Amino acid sequence: MRRGSVLQLLGIAVLAAAIASLFAIFIGWLPDPASEEAKRIHFVYWFTTVICIAVFSVVAAVLAYSVVKFRAGPDDDSDGPPIHGHTKLEIVWTAIPAVLVTAISIVSAIVLAQNGKAGANPLVVKVTAVQFAWRFTYPNGKSFGVLTLPKGRHVKLDITSNDVIHSFWSPELSQKQDAVPGQHNMLVVTPSRTGTFPVICTELCGLGHALMRSHVTVMTAGGFDTWLKSGGRAGGGAPGLAVFQQNGCGGCHTFKPANATGKVGPDLDNLKEEAAKANRGPLDKFVEESIVKPEAYIAPGYTDAMPHIFGSQIPPDKLKQLVQYLSRGAK
Amino acid sequence: MSTAAEAHEHGPFEHHGPPPIHYSSRVSPSVLGMFLFIASEIMLFGSFFTVYFFDRVVNHGVGGQWPPDGFHRPVFVAGINTLILVTSSGTMHWADTSIKRGNRAGMQAGLVLTLCLGLTFLLTQVIEYHRIGFNTSNSSFAATFFGLTGLHGAHVFVGLTILLAMTIRAFRGHFSPEHHHGVEIGGIYWHFVDVMWIVVYVTVYII
Amino acid sequence: MTVHEVQHEHAPAPRATGLRRLLVPGWLRIFWVTPLFFGLGLGLPVLIRWLAHWDPVWKGSVLVSVELVTTPLGFLVGLGGFDYWVRYASGRPTLPEDHSGHGAHSWRDYFRINTDHKVIGIQYVVTTIFFFCVGGLLAMLFRAELAQPGDQFFNPQTFNVLVSNHAALMIFLFIIPAFAGLGNYVIPLMLGAADMAFPRLNALSFWLLPIAGLMLIVGMVTPGGGPSAGWTCYAPLCSHQPLGQVFFNMGVQWAGASSIMTALNFLVTIITMRAPGMTFWRMPLLVWANFTTSLLVVIATPFIAGSQFFVMLDRVLHTNFFEAGGGGYVLGYQHIFWFYSHPAVYIMMLPGFGIISEVISVMSRKPIFGYRLMALSLMAILVLGFSVWAHHMFVAGMAGWLRVPMMVTSMVIAVPTGIKIFSWLATMWEGRIHFTTPMLFALGFLSMFVIGGLSGIYLASVPIDIHASDTYFIVAHIHYVLFGGSVFTIFAGIYYWFPKMTGRMYDERLGKLHFWLTFIGFNLTFFPMHFIGLQGMPRRVADYADRFADVNLFISIASFGLGASTLVFLFNMVRSWAHGAPAPGNPWRALTLEWQVSSPPPVFNFDEIPQVVGNPYEYGVPGAKHAIFGAPTPAPVPAD
Ligand code: HEA
Ligand code: HEA
Ligand code: CUA
Ligand SMILES: [Cu+2]
């Protein structure tokens, strides 16, 4: 190999790396981190990116150079030089990747260990997934359909599921963990800025999977304490609305008064009509039965997809509020 | 199993037919094929043992006990059954060595005996299922119990089918000291089914 | 259409007439045997349940599961898949081989049990391309749905069915069997053998494929809903899906059985049927690649069979293998599934590596760089491939201590893979590169697979995977390795051996057009998926947040273009097969054995067994020879 071709090769490689780097830097690949864990994950991400750009540039450069330089003419029937191998070269391209992946592994392992540390006094929130809603339970026993967290404190999520596998993820917090029936999985997050971020279910869990979304609101530590003490009611609204939201009904149902737009189950705005069609007693009886015993009547065109757990999960007084809320809001 | 070799029993040097086959290995294709097949069978059993391991060891069974309360494993009957199956391996071996030495009657007797012993085993197993007092839906213990013994039972059934074919051929005058591949290969499979049972028995009934 | 000339030694058995025609193997027999077995599948379970006093006697899920075994068996019996063995088993004299099972005289010969590996190879390739089109059209349907947020054309259930079957068809009925088909055609030729070791088994393993494919497709339209748990079919979701899921479980079993049978056949053929002088270190790398792949198949595939049995039993017999309530370990399913399905991704890649080695060496007119290391790195990937399965479970909540070891082994696979990539580059270096269509696809593969492999490195790093798992980043990775990797190599292989298989040349200009359309469409479709995935778009969703609307619309439009590029390929194949210029025996001036015979090869491949005297890639070495014909053959080693 002549010196000239090495220089040319290097030039192409640098060019390729430059283009790739521009791509990497000027497109906002990752969401703005909102937790300490996310920041560390982003570090590993960029570390790996640098290595991968280097590797890709080398391959691209050799490829491009060969395509341009070693093209056979239309009537060229000759063969190339019979080179069978080159031991030193082969050792080099075995050793360098080995070193590089070892480096990535070490950095990853360190970050993984750090991201699993919950400190001495974490806030423990129980996360229960059901088809197709989230339920977040605080140490004081109160539970909600949306997650609220304090900024700057270690939070340990104790994640489980009541039916099939789901997965808890918030892109800004970066941390992700499957919710597995019969198992309690731990996940540590340490929110680092306030704001409201999406929570999504990332494990296929049935027909409502796409809409199994919720929110996490990160408050200042003081704000969080008052929020928790006040029983977690962020604002006014009908008491039934809170029950509706805490149980994640909006994940599957459309209901205008609650701004819910789920499409898995029947549209609750048409409850009156449905009740008339079902012909199973007065409206509020029908609504209550449909929540407590959803399999008793299944609206035409739907399947028995609604969880059978709400009867035991919602206390009687809350259930009453919910039934009232739904019956009144319905047309 | 059909080999390309058998396709040309009528004389490999005819014109226009395929050229003579060149074998690049000492081991005959059908024996090698059977061994590879058994390798994949072992892996199939492996997947059942894996699920057994997960349900029992990783998940600590039901309430930490194995077998859970109220389940009784018929260790004794299955033990007798084990003896029966081990004996059948002996008779199978007898059939195989007999034909290699040209003893046709010995082979026939060996095969019939093996067949009978295998049938007894399978029948005992079915009766055991019937009397066992729990069914497939009673906890993960029952699942792995029926899973492993059932998978093995299915293999005994396949083995018996092969044995039946061998027996029929033996009585129709096939096989000779020079041509005993059928017996040998069927025999390998039967021994495999046998050894597998010992592993299943120890895992499911004893430990 | 190719018509191999067959000279019959024996007059073929006289044609049956009258009612006897119902007894000869073939479609007539299928039409009465299949319903017979269908009835058997209904009657037997009902009888057994009735005898054992099980309630209810008539149970839908049991009957469906049994039917999905018996009905296809009936079809195979009718087709004649078992005739020889039944005759053998019952001690009757087996019919003397009249070789009428070899070769194809008309298109009808592709629709029967044919024992010629060349016919089977073509059967395989055509069938798998058909399933590629079906799987791709499903992708077009759900891409249309994904063009906008919200529900437009399909409800979420149907959407999940489309995604599950898209992946299942692509993996189990396109990539894996397409490689098996190409291997089937080429391996005996490359080894200098007349056929595979077990020709009848070979025929049977092909015919399991249409059964499996049909089962998946029928599953989609079963009343109650099709299989919708993703191609991974995780328990416990999968055991509680509508009835169509059973079709999926069984379809996978049939495809798996076919795959194991072919692998056994490859292994035995490669070990016992090599021409004299063809040592392991003289085998073309394609043969090496299929050798390692077959080992993977034989060892790993039983695990997916097991996993599908368990979820079926959980559904049908209410066992508790993976039901937390009954003491089952839910994640056990994933361990067992991935113990197959990770090696499966190498089952879907290693044969492609083999194809690329052939193409790059021939088209660059240079020996493969570092031949032995190339073969050894295949073996290294084989071994390592079994030690990384849990990298699919980093966020599943498995034992924590498994994470780091699995991360390290996953990363280490980059080393042997890198050796292969760099050796191909070195093979091209200073070569005389001919940019034919197969070479273009080989280069497309090289660049795209490196991108896909590098995104695999991101995923192997646990912290990054925690962020990216189950998002569109994974979808991007999947398609860069499976489409940019496997599918590109399949296209390269099809173009490369098209002259050999059909005896005609394909249209080079259409081939190049196909490549460029595919290459551009592919990148436009799948590259943006990295971005939306990292930003927070989960996979397997029919509806998504509004902020991803623009990118998704872009992806959908690009994907239609990518789909349309396949039309160019189909048109080229059909037209060239019918009207292409006749192909010479060795259009690429290659050294491997399949090119030393006519195109298409004679029925028994070689009139005389070649004597292998050197390595298969000695381009540029003066006077070097891979094999000579007409040398006195040594006496055959007796098999028994
Ligand atoms: C052909 C198929 C194929 C191939 C070859 C690969 C190859 C690899 N894959 Fe991929 N993978 C899939 C198909 C494939 N994968 C599929 C289908 C899924 C999704 C399944 C599902 O959930 O539906 C998946 C998912 C998947 C995951 C799980 C993600 C998740 O669900 O959370 C992971 C994690 O580790 C992973 C890693 C890897 C790695 C490390 C490789 C490595 O083998 C790659 C090695 C190659 C290179 C690295 C490039 C070349 C090397 C060099 C140029 C040398 C220098 C390199 C360095 C120094 C880095 N893959
Ligand atoms: C080899 C494997 C393979 C191949 C080739 C493809 C090919 C394609 N795939 Fe697929 N895909 C997978 C394997 C594969 N895929 C897997 C394993 C998954 C994961 C599934 C899961 O989550 O369970 C997946 C998932 C997957 C998703 C994510 C779904 C989700 O998570 O919700 C998407 C989304 O865009 C997608 C798109 C496509 C597209 C557009 C193509 C295109 O390349 C297809 C192009 C081909 C054709 C269109 C057919 C032939 C063309 C014609 C017959 C001409 C006529 C057509 C027109 C004129 C339009 N695939
Ligand atoms: Cu819950 Cu997806
Ligand atoms: Cu993997």
pLDDT in tens, C173-182: 999 999 999 9
Burial C337-364 (b: 16+ CB within 10 A, else e): bbbbbbbbbbbbbbbbbbbbbbbbbbbb
Q: How far apart are CA C427 and CA A327, in angstroms?
A: 75
What pLDDT is attached to residue C634? Answer: 54
Q: Could you report the per-residue pLDDT of C483-506, keeping only the tens digit for each?
A: 999 999 999 999 999 999 999 999
What pLDDT is attached to residue B8? Answer: 39
Structure token digits, residue A299: 């609206």
Q: Comparing C-alpha atoms, which of C354, C369, C190, C194 is closest to residue C283?
A: C190
Task: Kindly report the average pLDDT of chain B as a whole number.
Answer: 85
Q: How far apart are CA B151 and CA B128, in angstroms?
A: 15
CATH of the domain at C238: 1.20.210.10
Q: How far apart are CA A21 and CA A41, in angstroms?
A: 19
Q: Are residues C71 and C151 in the same domain?
A: no
What pLDDT is attached to residue C4? Answer: 40
What pLDDT is attached to residue B135? Answer: 81
How far does the centroid of ligand 2 lie from the alpha carbon of residue A51, in Å?
A: 30
Residue B10 has pLDDT above 50, yes or no: no
Is residue C456 very low, low, confident or very high in pLDDT (cuts 50, 70, 90)? very high
CA distance C299 to chain B (A): 5
Q: Are residues C69 and C119 in the same domain?
A: no
Which regions in chain A score pLDDT beneath 70? Answer: 1-3, 231-238, 251, 330-331
Q: Is residue A205 part of a domain?
A: yes
State the chains in contact with A (3 or more Cβ–Cβ pairs under 8 Å): C
Interstrand relation of A260-261 and C611-612 (parallel, antiparallel or unpaired): unpaired
Phi, psi torsion values for A249, nearest 5 degrees: -60, -35
**Residue for token digits 């646990």?**
C462
Yes or no, beta carbons of B46 and C200 under 8 Å apart = no
Q: How far apart are CA B151 and CA B153, in angstroms?
A: 5
Torsion of CA A23, A24, A26, A30, to 10 degrees: 130
Interstrand relation of A185-189 and A254-255 (parallel, antiparallel or unpaired): unpaired
Residue C335 has pLDDT above 90, yes or no: yes
Q: Could you report the per-residue pLDDT of C504-554, keeping only the tens digit for each?
A: 999 999 999 999 999 999 999 999 999 999 999 999 998 888 889 999 999
Q: Is residue C589 part of a domain?
A: no
- The answer to whether the beta carbons of residues C236 and C314 sit under 8 Å apart is yes
Q: Comparing C-alpha atoms, which of C625, C619, C624, C190 is closest to residue C369?
A: C619
Q: Are residues C213 and C78 in the same domain?
A: no
How far does the centroid of ligand 2 lie from the alpha carbon of residue C563, in Å?
A: 9
Is residue C99 very low, low, confident or very high in pLDDT (cuts 50, 70, 90)? low
Q: Helices (H), strands (E): how many in chain C?
A: 20, 2
Q: Are residues C73 and C113 in the same domain?
A: no
Please tell me chain C's helix, strand, coil percentages from 3-state DSSP, rounded to the nearest 5: 65, 0, 30
What pLDDT is attached to residue B16? Answer: 56
Of C535, C559, C579, which residue is a domain's last? C579
Q: How far apart are CA C2 and CA C25, in angstroms?
A: 23
**Residue for token digits 């690329």?**
C356
Question: What's the Cα-to-Cα distance from C18 to each of A9, C12, C21, C24, C28, rounded to whole Å?
Answer: 75, 18, 6, 11, 12
Cβ–Cβ contacts within 10 Å for residue C335, how many?
25
Q: Which ligand is nearest to the CA of A163?
A: 3
Nearest ligand 3 atom to alpha carbon A204: 2
How many CB pairs lie under 8 A apart between chains B and C? 226
Q: Are residues C77 and C142 in the same domain?
A: no
Residue B15 has pLDDT above 80, yes or no: no
More confident residue, C136 or C235: C136
Residue C1 has pLDDT above 70, yes or no: no
Is residue C120 very low, low, confident or very high in pLDDT (cuts 50, 70, 90)? very high
Q: Could you report the per-residue pLDDT of C186-207, keeping only the tens digit for each?
A: 999 999 998 899 999 999 999 9
Q: Is residue C622 part of a domain?
A: no
Q: Is residue A84 part of a domain?
A: no
Q: How far apart are CA C177 and CA A137, in angstroms?
A: 50
Yes or no, beta carbons of C89 and B165 under 8 Å apart = yes
Of C579, C596, C630, which residue is a domain's last? C579
Q: Are residues C83 and C122 in the same domain?
A: no
Q: Are residues C43 and C185 in the same domain?
A: no
Torsion of CA A283, A285, A286, A291, to 10 degrees: 130
- The answer to whether the beta carbons of residues C140 and C559 sit under 8 Å apart is yes
Query: Which residues of C fall within a CB distance of 8 Å from B143?
Result: 313-314, 319-321, 326, 328
What pLDDT is attached to residue A298? Answer: 83
Q: A256: which DSSP letter?
A: G
Torsion of CA C371, C375, C378, C383, to 10 degrees: -140
Q: Helices (H), strands (E): how many in chain A?
A: 9, 12
Q: Could you report the per-residue pLDDT of A190-246, keeping only the tens digit for each?
A: 999 988 899 999 999 988 898 888 889 898 888 888 888 876 654 445 677 777 777
Residue B150 has pLDDT above 50, yes or no: yes
Host H or E run for residue C611: strand C611-612
Q: Are residues A208 and A282 in the same domain?
A: no
Yes or no, beta carbons of C542 and A210 under 8 Å apart = yes
Q: Is residue A24 part of a domain?
A: yes
Q: In what order do the strands lie in the sheet with A133-137?
A: A143-144, A133-137, A123-130, A155-161, A185-189
What pLDDT is attached to residue B4? Answer: 43
Q: Are residues C174 and C273 in the same domain?
A: yes
Q: Which residue does chain C place closest to B146, by CA atoms? A: C319
> Which structural domain range is residue A266 located in?
239-329
Cβ–Cβ contacts within 10 Å for residue B115, how many?
19
Phi, psi torsion values for A197, nearest 5 degrees: -125, 155
Those residues whose beta carbon sits under 5 angstroms from the ion ligand 4 are: C 342
Structure token digits, residue B59: 């998940």
Q: Could you report the per-residue pLDDT of C208-227, keeping only the tens digit for each?
A: 999 999 999 999 988 878 88
Q: C280: which DSSP letter?
A: G
How far does the centroid of ligand 2 lie from the alpha carbon of residue B88, in Å?
A: 53
Q: Are residues A207 and A279 in the same domain?
A: no
For residue C336, which amino acid is it? Answer: I
Q: Are residues C171 and C315 in the same domain?
A: yes
How far does the centroid of ligand 3 lie from the alpha carbon of residue C618, in Å?
A: 56
Query: Which residues of A fall within a CB distance of 8 Å from C431?
Result: 66, 70, 72, 80
How many CB pairs lie under 8 A apart between chains A and C? 261
Q: C561: which DSSP letter?
A: H
What pLDDT is attached to residue B1? Answer: 40
Give residues with Cβ within 8 angstroms of C156, minimum separation 6: A207, A208, A209, A210, A211, A263, A264, C542, C543
Q: What does the pLDDT average to over C259-284?
A: 94
Nearest ligand 1 atom to alpha carbon C231: 23
Is residue C100 very low, low, confident or very high in pLDDT (cuts 50, 70, 90)? low
Structure token digits, residue C542: 């029919």
Q: What does the pLDDT average to over C580-604?
A: 90
Residue C638 has pLDDT above 70, yes or no: no
Q: Is residue C11 part of a domain?
A: no
Q: Is residue C302 part of a domain?
A: yes
Q: Is residue C15 part of a domain?
A: no
More confident residue, C6 or C608: C608
Q: Which of A45, A62, A178 sits opposite C464 (nearest CB)?
A: A45
Query: Which residues of C fall within a CB distance of 8 Å from A177?
Result: 395, 397
Q: Which of C339, C378, C392, C454 to mutate to test the pocket of ligand 1 (most atoms within 8 A of CB)?
A: C392
Written as one string, the DSSP assignment of C438-500 is HHHHHHHHHHHHHHHHHHHHHHHSHHHHHHHTTBHHHHHHHHHHIIIIIIHHHHHHHHHHHHH
Q: Is residue C626 part of a domain?
A: no
Yes or no, beta carbons of C306 and B51 under 8 Å apart = yes
Residue B40 has pLDDT above 60, yes or no: yes
Q: How far apart are CA C327 and CA B143, in angstroms?
A: 10
Q: How far apart are CA C316 and CA C239, in angstroms?
A: 9
How far does the centroid of ligand 4 lie from the alpha carbon of residue C390, in Å?
A: 8
Q: Is residue A275 part of a domain?
A: yes
Q: What does the pLDDT average to over B29-42?
A: 94
Q: Is residue A78 part of a domain?
A: no
Conformational region of residue C430, where left means phi above 0, alpha means psi within -120 to 50, and beta covers everything else: left
Q: Are residues A243 and A208 in the same domain?
A: no
Q: Is residue A75 part of a domain?
A: no
Nearest ligand 3 atom to alpha carbon A205: 2
CA distance C345 to chain B (A): 18
Q: Which ligand is nearest to the CA of C338?
A: 4
Q: Are residues A37 and A96 in the same domain?
A: yes
Q: Are residues A272 and A322 in the same domain?
A: yes
Domains for chain B: give ranges and CATH numbers: 28-206 (1.20.120.80)
Q: Are residues C331 and C246 in the same domain?
A: yes
Count the domains in chain A.
3
Q: How far apart are CA C562 and CA C396, in angstroms?
A: 34
Residue B37 has pLDDT above 90, yes or no: yes
Count the domains in chain C.
2
Question: What's the Cα-to-Cα distance from A112 to each of A41, A108, A109, A227, C464, rounded to whole Å?
Answer: 9, 6, 5, 32, 10
Q: Are residues A188 and A152 in the same domain?
A: yes
3-state secondary structure of A125: strand
Torsion of CA C249, C255, C256, C262, to 10 degrees: 170
Q: A308: which DSSP letter?
A: S
Peptide bond into C236 cis (omega under 30): yes
Phi, psi torsion values for A112, nearest 5 degrees: -60, -45
Q: Are residues C197 and C261 in the same domain?
A: yes
Q: What does the pLDDT average to over C392-419?
A: 93
Q: Is residue C595 part of a domain?
A: no
- The answer to whether the beta carbons of residues A265 and A252 sit under 8 Å apart is yes
CATH of the domain at A222: 2.60.40.420
Q: Are residues A209 and A273 in the same domain?
A: no
CA distance A141 to chain C (A): 25
Residue B20 has pLDDT above 70, yes or no: yes
Give residues with Cβ within 8 angstroms of C279, minimum separation 6: C612
How far does the centroid of ligand 2 lie from the alpha carbon of residue C565, in Å?
A: 14
Nearest ligand 1 atom to alpha carbon C341: 20
Burial A195-213 (b: 16+ CB within 10 A, else e): eebbbbbbbbbbbbbbbbb
What pLDDT is attached to residue C609? Answer: 83
Q: Which residue does chain B place closest to C101, by CA atoms? A: B7
Q: Are residues C514 and C374 in the same domain?
A: yes
Q: Is residue A76 part of a domain?
A: no
Q: How far apart are CA A72 and CA A94, in angstroms?
A: 30
Host H or E run for residue C70: helix C60-79
> Which structural domain range is residue C64 located in?
20-89
Q: Which of C172, C345, C348, C539 to mutate to test the pocket of ligand 1 (most atoms within 8 A of CB)?
A: C345
Q: Is residue A206 part of a domain?
A: yes
Q: Are residues A214 and A180 in the same domain?
A: yes
Q: How far apart are CA A195 and CA C311, in angstroms?
A: 42
Q: Where are the beta strands (DSSP E) in chain A?
A: 123-130, 133-137, 143-144, 147-150, 155-161, 166-169, 176-179, 185-189, 195-201, 213-219, 254-255, 260-261
Q: Are residues A245 and A288 in the same domain?
A: yes
